C-alpha cells in the first residue's frame, strides 16, 4: 500500500463500499470482492504475488509478531546525595528493530538497558510512537488534556537532541 497515498486508500475503500452496497469495511470481504476485479488499481497490491510467495511473506510477518512485544525486566539503582540507594525494576522490550536498518531488511536486536545506543533507539521509537498517538487521537481530547503528553514528547525530543 506504500504506493497509495492516504487519500487514495480512502477513495479505494469508499469506492468499494459504494459498489458493494456495504457500510462496514470488512477486510476479508474486501479481498473476496477484489479477487474478481482484475482491472482495479488495488488488485496488483493484493494479488501480484503467487500463493507461495504470499505465504512466505505471511510467515515472515508471523515471525516478526512472535518477537514483537516481548519484555525484559532490569534492576535500576539510583544513589541520592545522602547515599541512599533506590532500586527499582523497570520493564523494557526484549528486542528492538532498529529503524535505520529496516530499509535493508531489518531484524531485531537484543535490548540492553545498559547500552546507550539501545536506549537511544528505544527513546527515538517512543517519541515517534507518542507523536503518532497524538496525531491519531488529538481530536478526542481537549488541547489542555493533550498538553502534558505533548510536553513529554517535546522534552524527549530535546533530550535526544542534546545527547546527540
pLDDT of residue 14: 94
Per DSSP, the three-state class of 50 is coil
Residue 151 CA: distances (Å) to CA of 50, 70, 147, 148: 48, 28, 6, 5
Phi-psi region of 4 (alpha: psi -120 to 50; beta: other; left: phi over 0): beta
Residues 6+ apart with CB under 8 A from 135: none
Residue with cell 528493530: 97
pLDDT of residue 144: 87
Residues 6+ apart with CB under 8 A from 43: 34, 37
Instruction: Provide the residue-wise pLDDT of the chain in tens; the chain has 164 residues.
Output: 558 898 999 999 999 999 999 888 999 999 999 999 999 999 999 999 999 999 999 999 899 888 887 877 877 777 777 777 778 888 888 888 889 888 887 788 888 988 999 998 998 888 888 888 988 998 898 888 888 888 878 765 555 555 55
Domain ranges of the chain: 6-48, 115-164
**96 contacts 121 by C-beta, under 8 angstroms:** yes
Amino acid at each position: 500500500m506504500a504506493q497509495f497515498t492516504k487519500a487514495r486508500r480512502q477513495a479505494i475503500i469508499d469506492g468499494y463500499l459504494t459498489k458493494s452496497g456495504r457500510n462496514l469495511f470488512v477486510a476479508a470481504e474486501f479481498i473476496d470482492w477484489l479477487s474478481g476485479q482484475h482491472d482495479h488499481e488495488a488488485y496488483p497490491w493484493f494479488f501480484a504475488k503467487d500463493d507461495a510467495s504470499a505465504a512466505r511473506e505471511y510467515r515472515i510477518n508471523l515471525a516478526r509478531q512472535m518477537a514483537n512485544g516481548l519484555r525484559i525486566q532490569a534492576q535500576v539503582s539510583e544513589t541520592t546525595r545522602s547515599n541512599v540507594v533506590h532500586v527499582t525494576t523497570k520493564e523494557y522490550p526484549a528486542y528492538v528493530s532498529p529503524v535505520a536498518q529496516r530499509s535493508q531488511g531489518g531484524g531485531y536486536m537484543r535490548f540492553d538497558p545498559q547500552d546507550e545506543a539501545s536506549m537511544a533507539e528505544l527513546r527515538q521509537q517512543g517519541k515517534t510512537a507518542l507523536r503518532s498517538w497524538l496525531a491519531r487521537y488529538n481530536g478526542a481530547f481537549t488541547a489542555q488534556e493533550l498538553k502534558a503528553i505533548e510536553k513529554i514528547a517535546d522534552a524527549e525530543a530535546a533530550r535526544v537532541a542534546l545527547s546527540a
